[in-house]
Structure 1
């Protein structure tokens, strides 16, 4: 059997394929550390304590001396992802590539590169064996293909949800994270990694995999989780599986609603690609009577589909709409007929078309309102002998999504058995849970915390067997400061410091502000605040859309109520007031 990591990983029959690139030099992104650092809410030693926990240092390097036993209690160690069922969540090829070089597959990831100094042949063999072992424990992706109803509509709903329910408090918005005060939690190549079904299940309950609570539940229902999953996996390979008569529609409200404003009626036509649709769906006919609630005016419509042309030739199109409106017909992305607002009702054009499917788009907008709004388009030519409404031949295609890497995988039992031993000997079992597996401590040991020289350890590792974290200068300095005095590190924190450490560890500061001794700390930064919104139709000011300040929270809520919010899944405002 070919090795799993040799530039590419196998084939569709003897296993999956993914290019292997080499390590990114980006430092691990630890959200709580970043939030605390930019707000100066903690000194370097306290920041280093967060890193010791979030990078799982103490999962391997335990404080063994009795006088230092308190360190293991003081440092809150993040639980690494539970690998039980990992094969049912990720493609084998992505898993192998990630094991070979985590930073290359997810720049800024907190998992170290375990094989950074291992000779290539040994690394390839180890990764192959670990992959076979992990897949053998769980099987492969189920329900790998997914056919979303109204694909474009699902993507748009997912896009809105991703940017409103809280995802972008930690992850980058679609336009990227350039200019953001704090770096965003990275996402891997999800299209290669997972399926719609698997990602949906994770979004519904992240704690089934991430027991440490660093990614909270967003209290999504299954439809919302599916919509977000389809949006995040929109780059997956798709293939048409069904052709349905009609159009997909998009409905927009005019961003300018004040009809008394200067130039309201004389503005240029809208640029639809720069607008965000209020609603998207499917309709059988080209009609302004949509199956949704619409305004009486100051709104816009866009209809998209395909027209199958049986024979090449010249076709005549007639675009018509009420006099006060503006409308446009586009074929294969090019505007072929444009009716300006407050002009005649019809435009006739001839277009040369080859045989085959052609993308068609009809847009309509009205400023103010009109008594008899309408938009129509007819086609004549080729096998269409008489003027025919375009909706009689227009179709839309639904697609199916599937991971860009194959899910077929044949487990080699001998390799899996070797991988089972490696899972302990290289340190995987020190951080990760895997079903009922209990690692044999005799197979793996790391130096105790007392014997480490962090001035050396925190540098870029080069020794064989030393995991590489790619710490940057500020992170290395923080770790050194945190471990400079182990006797002090073994002492319990005072209450104020414990609160700051806990809020930072779980990155509560990403959403909530609290007045600390150093001043105001936390809360959404200016670039992310626009993504915190209220339920449509409400206007409660910033108090109704931005998570509440935590200063003096003990005077606002009884301990029982606060406990229920933190531990019993009671969200008092989600969907009632806040979108987030």
Structure 2
């Protein structure tokens, strides 16, 4: 074995490790790259596969294994975790085991086994000293005590988050074992819950190299995700640091040159020969990464070509592989979610097709996005696709600086030649007209300043001119399928001819330029036609009531709205057999339920709508103090069966339903004064001793002159045919009526104000 010259390594045998050891500082030669017998010991680098370019893969390995931290090269070292930050979170028992044998403690790690040449007892003692020294670096206090076992609800939310936001792009989905997945091994022994939460909230604080990107999780999200990741945790008893070993640990830290990776700003110049000077046939004692034959061949191929110059596009390929961008994105036909992971890229809007769930292509990205937007996207993970569940994480400025410059300098597209309109209000008015619902109808798919015409809700048009280059905008609109083969975006200029020839002489370039000029002011652009569709009103007419079975606020999809000729209106809940709401004036505005696949709500056309409590109006109680049954909104009330309705001569319904073995008929009759409703409930048999009716609930229910008159919130008067009682429940007042022995019950609702 040949040790590098003193000038290269800058150490002598008596200042490195103990003279009795045959350990030499590792050179990247044959033994350093030897194939180990333990398959689990091989380092795992996300994004590398057997079929890829050997030289590129080798260069990635040289950086990800941090070889370039000691061997001088033009390549940039990955950098290792910041120990001052890590020391506040990691459990010492795990740290000791990891330092003793990193590959056994964490299969797939890129940490070399620096203590591997020591005798076993000395390994253990050195690891204990090193862990004591590392924990002495804490600047934020001691680790928190373990949290109680996470709740099942938190763990379930964390599982959904883990499989949606992008974690499985690099790590294994639950129950899978995919090639090149970064292991999540024994996290419960490494982190306590609060420590993992802190790491997930800001991973770059501990790992500034951004190989673990920042998904900008909310505290609640980080808490749920940590609950899932630690769901099977077996937390060991904490081991207290031994301050007497700190000095010895610091000595080991210096002897092993740990600062080369963990604190490069304080480390000396590279200690070993430059990569271009290495001879692949030389031997040395190795840190032994247990590389596979393929990994060894990759590094040897990279070493043999270190002097070769790369074209910029290949350098982009290299840096995207380093950051594992290809796990989510495609560029020039390479990358994108692979088998086993594709199904975890999901969307909340299937109507938009594949582009709604698969992250966008990075082909020509430097020619597509303006510099500021591209920098914000890489650095801070800006998000413009709210329907896509996978998030673009933040990588920070330092890890992406070179990639950003390469994108901007070398991504090129042909120049779109066109005749520009004179920049004035006429051009913008033409653009406004073109995107509206009477021409190209861009608003049918895209939101505009947060407003949507339909349920498609594609990227907001008001952000486009502030994100995209004008040249890309022109080229894309000319032929969207050329950029995205699966896009549902139509081509409005087939064969270069406009489908709207009456606008701007049918000139494609002028029309696209008009749209661009219109969108340039961003959120200040005037609203195009169709974004706010004309309302659709429904009212009683010619002396007859009207009905609309749709979704109403507080009721859900089984609502039955009735507008009466005297402009008094109700919404009945057929799921819970109760009066849901009551209002005075015109009946409803139904554009939200008439358009957009009927998914919206009918809007009551009144400033004052009385909403009655969710849950059944009839209940069986042991006494007046018993709690009323709780039933969630839009959920069928147990014990009730809705039997439909019959209509009288002027189309007013009588609702029929069953409860407690009796049939109930519920009829609302509007009075000609326009202020009074008479509600009559009749039962086919007498009410039982335990039968009660909840008339209303609100902030304030007050009794009138007698025990049968009440006032709800000072504006709705209710006269009952049977005496009621007021009770207070959780800061609300309820009006309850016992129905024991009753065969009918009448409520007269009177609006005291218009």
Q: Same fold (TM over 0.5)?
A: yes
- One of 314, 324, 327 as aligned partner of 1:497: 314
**Counterpart for residue 204 of structure 2:** 207
**Counterpart for residue 510 of structure 1:** 327
Q: How far off its partner does 1:125 sit?
A: 2.1
Matching of residues 152-191 of structure 1 within 5 Å: 152-177=152-177, 180=178, 182-191=179-188
What SS does the corresponding residue of 1:191 show, helix, strand or coil? helix
What SS does the corresponding residue of 2:334 show, helix, strand or coil? strand
**Counterpart for residue 316 of structure 1:** none
Q: 1:156 to 1:201 in 2, by over 3 A?
A: same
Matching of residues 101-250 of structure 1 within 5 Å: 101-138=101-138, 141-147=142-148, 151-177=151-177, 180=178, 182-237=179-234
Gaps of 5+ in 1: 1-21, 63-71, 238-403
Q: How far off its partner does 1:475 sit?
A: 0.9
Matches of 2:273 and 2:315, distance apart in 1: 28
Matches of 1:451 and 1:556, distance apart in 2: 41
Q: How far off its partner does 1:498 sit?
A: 1.1
Matches of 1:99 and 1:412, distance apart in 2: 18
1:92–1:131 contact (8 Å) kept in structure 2: yes
**Counterpart for residue 377 of structure 1:** none
**Counterpart for residue 411 of structure 1:** 242
Bigger relative contact order (CA 8 A; separation at least 6): 1
Matching of residues 475-554 of structure 1 within 5 Å: 475-488=295-308, 491=309, 493-515=310-332, 520-535=333-348, 539-554=351-366
Matching of residues 266-305 of structure 1 within 5 Å: none
What SS does the corresponding residue of 1:32 show, helix, strand or coil? coil
Q: How far off its partner does 1:229 sit?
A: 0.2
Residue 56 (str. 1) matches residue 57 (str. 2) = no
Q: How far off its partner does 1:524 sit?
A: 0.4
**Counterpart for residue 630 of structure 2:** none
Q: How far off its partner does 1:448 sit?
A: 4.2
- Counting matched residue pairs gives 354
Matches of 2:357 and 2:314, distance apart in 1: 29
2:276–2:303 contact (8 Å) kept in structure 1: no
1:87–1:135 contact (8 Å) kept in structure 2: yes
1:311-362 deviation per Cα after TM superposition (whole angstroms, max 9, x unaligned): xxxxxxxxxxxxxxxxxxxxxxxxxxxxxxxxxxxxxxxxxxxxxxxxxxxx
What SS does the corresponding residue of 1:231 show, helix, strand or coil? helix
Q: How far off its partner does 1:144 sit?
A: 2.5
After superposition, the CA RMSD in angstroms is 2.4
**Counterpart for residue 266 of structure 2:** 438
Q: How far off its partner does 1:172 sit?
A: 0.5
**Counterpart for residue 676 of structure 2:** none
* Rg larger for: 2
Matches of 1:234 and 1:141, distance apart in 2: 24
Residue 32 (str. 1) matches residue 41 (str. 2) = no
**Counterpart for residue 89 of structure 1:** 89
2:112–2:289 contact (8 Å) kept in structure 1: yes
Matches of 2:329 and 2:253, distance apart in 1: 39
Q: How far off its partner does 1:506 sit?
A: 0.8
Q: 1:141 to 1:527 in 2, by over 3 A?
A: farther
Q: 1:472 to 1:530 in 2, by over 3 A?
A: same
What SS does the corresponding residue of 2:84 show, helix, strand or coil? coil
**Counterpart for residue 57 of structure 2:** 47
Normalised by the length of structure 2, the TM-score is 0.45
Q: How far off its partner does 1:455 sit?
A: 4.1
1:477-520 deviation per Cα after TM superposition (whole angstroms, max 9, x unaligned): 111111114433xx4x21111111111111100110111xxxx2
What SS does the corresponding residue of 1:118 show, helix, strand or coil? coil
